[in-house]
Amino acid sequence: MRKATFLFDAAILFALLLPISARADVGDLFEADAGSGTIFKFTSGGAKTTFAAGLNNPVGLAVDAVGNLFEADFNSDTIFKFTPDGTKITFASGLRGPADLAFDDAGNLFESDAKSGTIIKFTPSGIKTTFASGLIGPSALAFDVFGNLYETDQGSGIIFKFTPSGIKTTFASGLNSPSGLAFDVFGNLYEADQASGTIFKFNPSATRSTFASGLQRPIGLAFDAAGNLFVADRGSGTILKFTPGGIKSTFASGLNEPQGLAIQGGQTSIPSDFNRDGFTDYLLFNPGTRATAIWYLHGSALVTGAFGPSLPPDWVVVGVADFDKNGGPDFLLVNSVTRQTAVWFLNNATFVGGSFGPTLPAGWSLIGATDFNGDGKPDYVLFNSATRQTAVWFLNGTTFSSGAFGPTLPAGWILVDALDFNADNKPDYLLFNPRTRQTAIWFLNGTTFQAGTLGPTLPAGWALEGASDFNADGAPDYLLFAAATRGTAIWFLNGTTFVGGALGPALPAGYTLASP
């Protein structure tokens, strides 16, 4: 969202259930039940339904950015695509033992073709090419945050790493029928070592440790948004769940050769996560050149960057939200002369389309957008700096539906952001007093004030830009900016209590932070 340092003055701005399959929701776990030819769906609470049946040895699963489930049907040599409501479509056929699937950030689908010893790449439109060949029983696939592809080579006991251009190196060897791969949010790679009954953990430097042992043919792996690891334990017919601390429990039992696992993503839980790796990214804007840029972060560390689309004259980017429900952020724009709003739809850093939104009344600034009425669609958050009044405009896509006033802020305070601080799935206001440098959170029920609490006070020279979950603990953290040094910093919070901090990357001259 657009933050306090970018408020414009008043002259500028103003489940439908199916007979067989159940509609998939964000956070649902899919399991390929190879022995029964079924894909089961589990809610986060463990409730089980049949999502699809009549398959022929389903093994690998992957979910694309808009929530479609892809399934590698080993015995029919086919990849099937299922929409979130369970509609089945043939995506590709004539393969040779499709074993696993994985998507890169550009939406390309990669398939491990076990019998041909190849990795096949499909563009979003279905164009097929060979990405790698000469493998021995390629099985699991997983991408890291840098776009490198990892593959378990069952026949050789090796995990191979492929750069985006296809250069192959050995990441780990000496494994015993490696069968499943998954990355946690810290870049550690987990491997299901089927024959040894072990889950190995590899840090980014490939140092290996044992995460869990004594399993019965572990195969599929998947992480949820909270960092829990789910393991398809084929020999025991169970799905095991491991907390981030390694505590083990049985999530589901009585399955028939459970194999592939996938979590329904649909929409990233972090609004400013452009590459959907589970980490907050910076959106930068240069008012002089109109250029935008995205800095991809891993926690507080800069990984890489990419230029986004340049804005036309008089337009500024004030925040991001997922307006087209493709699972990633879109730009929220305001015209500083006409007060017109607009949304630019993006695929990562690439512009794919745009739409005008409602025009703001005089005296009001646009803080950002988030869902206030629980309909799954972003709404505008407005602030009037003269009257201290706040308001929410409820939208259907980019169309204004209705509006409601929110609470009025006390003198000296500005509205910085709106996001959920107390885990009730409702946005709260983040406030900042530039004179005292005090922060505060106002807990809301819709647009109604419920209670408030003071947060930590910022040191001299620093301003509060916004908040996002930087350490993947499910709670918002503060983002700070020092105008004199161009430095950024993250303050990690437990609720509203400061628990630690880390310096982020410094911004280049001419650029400002537009999000988070």
User: Over the stretch 229-268, which tens digit does the pLDDT of each residue have?
Assistant: 999 999 999 999 999 888 999 999 999 999 999 987 644 4
pLDDT at 339 over 70: yes
pLDDT at 336 over 50: yes
What is the distance, to the nearest Å, from the Cα of residue 211 to the centroid of all Cα atoms in its chain? 25
**38-42, strands of its sheet edge to edge:** 48-52, 38-42, 29-33, 258-263
Predicted confidence band at 269 (pLDDT cuts at 50, 70, 90)?
low
The pLDDT value recorded for residue 25 is 57
Predicted confidence band at 424 (pLDDT cuts at 50, 70, 90)?
confident
Name residue 481's beta-bridge partners.
463, 488
Percent of the chain with pLDDT over 70: 93
pLDDT at 312 over 60: yes
Predicted confidence band at 27 (pLDDT cuts at 50, 70, 90)?
confident
Q: Look up the domain containing 505 and give its range.
A: 282-515
The answer to the question of residue 269 being in a domain is no
Average pLDDT, the chain: 89
The pLDDT value recorded for residue 363 is 94
Burial per residue of 119-138, b for 16 or more beta-carbon CB atoms within 10 angstroms, e otherwise: bbbbeeeeeeeebbeebebb
pLDDT at 198 over 60: yes
The answer to the question of residue 343 being in a domain is yes
The CATH number for 320's domain is: 2.120.10
The answer to the question of residue 21 being in a domain is no
Domain boundary among 197, 229, 264: 264
CA distance 478 to 416: 11
Domain boundary among 235, 264, 293: 264
* 8 Å CB contact between 457 and 463: no
Which segment of 63-67, 83-87, 251-255, 309-313 scores lowest on mean pLDDT?
A: 63-67
Are 34 and 90 in the same domain?
Answer: yes
- CB-neighbour burial class of residue 491 (10 A; exposed 0-12, middle 13-18, buried 19+): buried
- Report the SS3 class of residue 481: strand
> pTM for the complete prediction?
0.59
* 8 Å CB contact between 429 and 441: yes
The pLDDT value recorded for residue 7 is 30
Residue 140, both tokens = 């699991």
C-alpha torsion sign, points 88, 124, 231, 259: positive
The CATH number for 176's domain is: 2.120.10.30
Name residue 258's beta-bridge partners.
33
Predicted confidence band at 364 (pLDDT cuts at 50, 70, 90)?
very high
The pLDDT value recorded for residue 175 is 96
CA neighbor of 255 nearest in space, from 424, 407, 37, 15? 37
Name residue 200's beta-bridge partners.
191, 210
The pLDDT value recorded for residue 331 is 96
Amino acid at 317: V
The pLDDT value recorded for residue 258 is 96
- Report the SS3 class of residue 424: coil
